[in-house]
Amino acid sequence: MAFQLPPLTYGNDALEPHIDAMTMQIHHDKHHAAYVTNLNKALEGNDAAGWSIEEICKNISKFQVAVRNNGGGHYNHSLYWSVMKPGGGGSPKGALLDAITANLGSFEKFYDAFSAAGTTRFGSGWAWLIVNADKKLAVTSTPNQDNPLMDVVEVKGTPILGMDVWEHAYYLKYQNRRPDYISAFWNVINWDEVALRFNAAMK
Ligand code: MN
């Protein structure tokens, strides 16, 4: 069963003005689609048939680099589309906010740490909010299409929020101004989805 490109659950222009329609269209229909195509190609004849993308990431050291790059690309982008929504932003509530406060100091400190993780990631990569093995929240970042599920990364955990800081995520609207894209990203975060992922990871 080949992996498939999940459709966006909102229009390409739904995150305007924070993320522009052309960026969303190319990012989803071209970049993410290519990760899926190349992941399926890389897995042809492999005995990982039937594995979920999460299982593949957790065992990524067993695979060739094309699976690491494209499987990471597929997992990461699927998460990214889901943790954004039109009219998003604001701040989390309930148990997730309590955990952010307990583990990361405050929402403001988390905001600064997550933004800095994206700003200071050299080259292409991702910023993450994860639940680690001790069921604590942590902020981390990974290069390229690596993610915290992978058995090869330094800081491991279950991602509940991911921000793409590859230039293809922002260059058409923000050019070299990655910090402006990161500021805008906070206005589209789907905190309901992040809370669902938090609750699942805490079980
Ligand atoms: Mn991307």
Q: Convert the pLDDT of each residue in 76-125 to its tens digit.
A: 999 999 999 999 999 999 999 999 999 999 999 999 999 999 999 999 99
Containing 113, the helix (H) or strand (E) segment is: helix 107-120
**Alpha carbon of 50 to ligand 1 centroid (Å):** 25
What separation in Å is there between the alpha carbon of 169 and the centre of ligand 1?
A: 5
The Cα 166–Cα 170 span in angstroms is 8
98 CA distance to ligand 1 middle (Å): 30
Estimate the crossing angle of helix 33-43 against helix 65-82, to 10 degrees: 140
CA 185–ligand 1 middle distance (angstroms): 14
Give 30 Cα–ligand 1 centroid separation in angstroms: 10
- In DSSP notation, 154-192 reads SS--EEEEEEE-SGGGTHHHHTT-HHHHHHHHTTSB-HH
Sign of the torsion formed by the C-alpha atoms of 108, 81, 138 and 166: negative
Tokens 């390229």 -> residue: 144
pLDDT in tens, 124-180: 999 999 999 999 999 999 999 999 999 999 999 999 999 999 999 999 999 999 999
pLDDT tens figures, 167-185? 999 999 999 999 999 999 9
